[in-house]
Amino acid sequence: MVRYHRCNPIFMGPNKDAMSTQEKATESRQVAPAGDAQMRRPLKIALFGFGTVGSSVARILVESQPEELLLTHIFNRTVERKRVDWVPKSVVWTEDADAVLASDVDVVVELAGGLDPAGAWVRRAIEAGKSVVTANKKLIAYHGVELERLAAATGGHLKYGAAVAGGIPVIPGLEQGLAGDRIESMLGILNGTCNFILSRMETGAEYATVLAAAQAKGYAEADPTEDVGGFDARAKLAILMRLALRVVVDPEEIVPQAITAVTAVDFSYAKDLGCTIRQVARAEERNGSVAATVGPMLVDLSSPLAWSRGTENMVVLTGQYGGDVVFSGHGAGGHPTAVAVVSDLLALAHGSRRVQVPSTPAKIGAEFEVPHYIRFLVADRPGIVAEITRALAKEQINIRAIVQKAGYPAHALPFVVTVEPCKSSALKRALETINKMDCLLEQPLNLQMLE
């Protein structure tokens, strides 16, 4: 297994293949030909958004002073409250997006996030022949193909290495370092907020307590739905599927499962099963069929995914020829994400051409056939296990184990049933029957188990 360790991540440089006439013309307009570094004109950079990531990008540019890059504009709404004294006086602070887009900047760095108005700014910048660097995973997940086509038509460049896994070079690695392989499956921890919450819950803390701690540290928003509901990881998974599996899917077809139903007792049972719990995004393509899902899953303690703590991210790619490759590191926070943004900027300054990744539209049609962990909370009475067994047997699902811890009251008794590998649709039908049982205090928690 090849690992790109978080202490020393490997960045794979751009390929310098043949360019189209239009691309060469655009590059010559933006950057002087490679050769004598003193002959090059630095790229003029405009930051759109001066929040956590934007300020970190500016900090790197100001402190590192790369000769290839020149920060010229900072755009932000109510920009006066964002001003800092460490930014050079030559930088223009503005609330006028139109003026920046009409200026002679070479690259717009979009760090505002969301679909609108960020999407409109990116389109206008590309239409004006400018290049764009963005960390906007939602925009790339939903409109990345369209924007890349637009950039190809106008001779600009669109780079989004920071859109997935923060400072971990997963996207450059897929575009270039693993381009010679055929990726068959992928799974990963793509949301630092959920990883912080779940890794803290391993110690016995409850979800609400850890969420409050994550919000206090700035890891979680006041409304954490985008993260804990799995929507953030879903957008990132859709991007990786296009680059790794070469399929374009509608992110809305990937139905996420929230981590909010996971409790401390689930970690206790998971430990007894030799596992822990992580929010995992996974996808695979087999014989033209695509499967994808996002949600909390039981992960074997020997798995690399179990090693990830705090806000770290991890992506495991399985290639037909190269086997497993693991990328890991800090996937959240201003500085790690800013590193990926500045790396994209430097790649542009050094003449990196747009990487063409062939992909085809696809539908999510396949199912993962894996073991499942099902945790019940019941008011105890005779016959509960027999009824559950009958419902599972009707769908040809075999029970692997039944685990019940001592010390819980009979009126609120948690216990776990694990089942052999089965299709999610079959288990869903069985649980619809089980949900009608009068002893249930809440719906059973159903989690996939990664083996």
Domains of the chain: 2-159 (3.40.50.720), 170-331 (3.30.360.10), 369-450 (3.30.70.60)
> What would the mean pLDDT of 200-212 be, rounded to a whole number?
94
Over the stretch 91-131, which tens digit does the pLDDT of each residue have? 999 999 999 999 999 999 999 999 999 999 999 999 999 99
- pLDDT at position 139 over 60: yes
> What would the mean pLDDT of 171-185 be, rounded to a whole number?
92
- pLDDT at position 35 over 70: no
Lowest mean pLDDT among 223-227, 287-291, 423-427: 287-291
Lowest mean pLDDT among 24-28, 134-138, 193-197: 24-28
The pLDDT assigned to 177 comes to 87
Query: For the purposes of burial, counting CB atoms within 10 Å of the CB of 345, is it exposed (0-12), middle (13-18) or buried (19 or more)?
Result: buried
Over the stretch 39-79, which tens digit does the pLDDT of each residue have? 579 999 999 999 999 999 999 999 999 999 999 999 999 99
Q: pTM of the predicted model, to two decimals?
A: 0.89
The pLDDT assigned to 331 comes to 76
Distance CA 363, CA 270 (A): 33
The pLDDT assigned to 20 comes to 40
Q: How confident is the model at residue 358 (pLDDT cuts 50, 70, 90)?
A: confident
The pLDDT assigned to 11 comes to 34
- pLDDT at position 16 over 80: no
Q: How confident is the model at residue 314 (pLDDT cuts 50, 70, 90)?
A: very high
The CA distances from residue 89 to 62, 65, 73, 83, in Å, are 11, 15, 11, 11
The pLDDT assigned to 354 comes to 67
The pLDDT assigned to 208 comes to 95
Q: How confident is the model at residue 215 (pLDDT cuts 50, 70, 90)?
A: very high
The pLDDT assigned to 219 comes to 87
- pLDDT at position 451 over 60: yes
The pLDDT assigned to 36 comes to 47
The pLDDT assigned to 39 comes to 54
Lowest mean pLDDT among 88-102, 182-196, 351-365: 351-365
The pLDDT assigned to 266 comes to 97
What is the rounded end-to-end Cα distance, in angstroms, of the chain?
16
> What would the mean pLDDT of 210-227 be, rounded to a whole number?
93
- pLDDT at position 33 over 70: no
> What would the mean pLDDT of 381-387 be, rounded to a whole number?
97
Mean pLDDT of the chain: 90
| Residues catalogued as catalytic | 236
Residue 347 or residue 15, greater confidence: 347
Which residues, in sequence order, are bridge partners of residue 44?
A: 70
Which residues, in sequence order, are bridge partners of residue 440?
A: 378
Q: Kindly give the pairing relationship between strand 312-319 and strand 323-330.
A: antiparallel
